[in-house]
């Protein structure tokens, strides 16, 4: 395998690789956005929402595991990690936005104002960014609990998942360096 550190590749190859990564991340965002807006808001019970949340978070975990294994096998693990974060974070946000949208459509009293697709993703991002403007607030125990779960998982995503992906990069680069060292 060729160079594993981004700094070890030629400037022209580095530019192409960075542009390709940016294009792949942008494509993932576009696809997730289209899917999010195309899917109808569903109504459901609290139990149904919890099940959908568990399935969505399971999907995020599978994507993190898959992306971690891809980083370990990647020729340029630093860019693969950037691509992974550029996919995992929007997927995570769409999972929660879908849940909030569903809750809002189930009952108009769940939030301080009814949520459409845009307001649901807006609320999700403000919670993720810890901005919390206060213009949309959860009003029931259910929505407050799910919002708290998102807040806790935001910290997990930022702390654990980012660290996991960066450790995979370090491991991949170190392993490649070790193999090259034995060949000399």
CB-based contact 67:165 (threshold 8 Å)? yes
Helix (H) or strand (E) holding 63: helix 46-73
Render pLDDT for 47-81 as a digit per residue (tens, 0 to 9).
888 899 999 999 999 999 999 899 888 888 888 88
Name the 3-class secondary structure at 5. Answer: coil
Question: Sign of the CA dihedral 86, 88, 89, 91?
Answer: positive
The answer to whether residue 122 sits within a structural domain is: yes
Q: Residues with Cβ < 8 Å from 149, sequence gap 6 or more? A: 53
pLDDT value at residue 10: 87
The answer to whether residue 102 sits within a structural domain is: yes
pLDDT at position 44 over 80: no
Kindly report the CATH number assigned to the domain that includes residue 93.
Answer: 1.10.287.70
The answer to whether residue 99 sits within a structural domain is: yes
Count how many domains the chain has: 1
The answer to whether residue 4 sits within a structural domain is: no
Output Rg (C-alpha) for the chain, integer angstroms. Answer: 19
pLDDT value at residue 184: 31
Render pLDDT for 120-177 as a digit per residue (tens, 0 to 9).
999 999 999 988 888 999 999 999 999 999 999 999 888 888 888 888 888 877 766 5
Can you give the pTM of this predicted structure?
Answer: 0.86
Q: Which residues make beta-bridge pairs with 49?
A: none
The answer to whether residue 3 sits within a structural domain is: no
- DSSP annotation of 161: I
The answer to whether residue 84 sits within a structural domain is: yes
Measure the CA angle with vertex 148, ends 147 and 150; round to 5°.
65
- Rounded CA separation 65/145 (Å): 27
Domain of 88 in residue numbering reads as: 9-33+44-177
The answer to whether residue 182 sits within a structural domain is: no
Closest CA to 48 of 108, 106, 116, 120: 106
10-19, 26-35, 163-172 — which is least confidently predicted?
163-172
The answer to whether residue 78 sits within a structural domain is: yes
């Amino acid at each position: 395998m060729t160079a594993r550190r981004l700094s070890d590749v030629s400037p022209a190859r580095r530019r192409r690789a960075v542009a390709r990564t940016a294009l792949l991340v942008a494509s993932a965002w576009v696809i997730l956005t289209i899917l999010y807006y195309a899917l109808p808001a569903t109504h459901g019970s609290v139990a149904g929402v919890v099940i959908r949340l568990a399935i969505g978070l399971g999907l995020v975990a599978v994507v993190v595991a898959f992306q971690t294994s891809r980083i370990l096998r990647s020729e340029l693990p630093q860019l693969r990690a950037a691509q992974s974060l550029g996919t995992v974070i929007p997927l995570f946000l769409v999972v929660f936005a879908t849940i909030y949208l569903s809750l809002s459509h189930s009952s108009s009293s769940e939030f301080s104002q009814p949520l459409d697709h845009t307001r649901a993703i807006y609320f999700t991002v403000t919670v993720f960014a810890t901005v919390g403007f206060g213009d949309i607030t959860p009003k029931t125990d259910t929505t407050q609990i799910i919002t708290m779960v998102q807040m806790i998982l935001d910290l997990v995503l930022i702390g654990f998942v980012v660290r996991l992906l960066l450790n995979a990069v370090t491991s991949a680069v170190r392993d490649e360096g070790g193999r090259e060292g034995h060949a000399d």
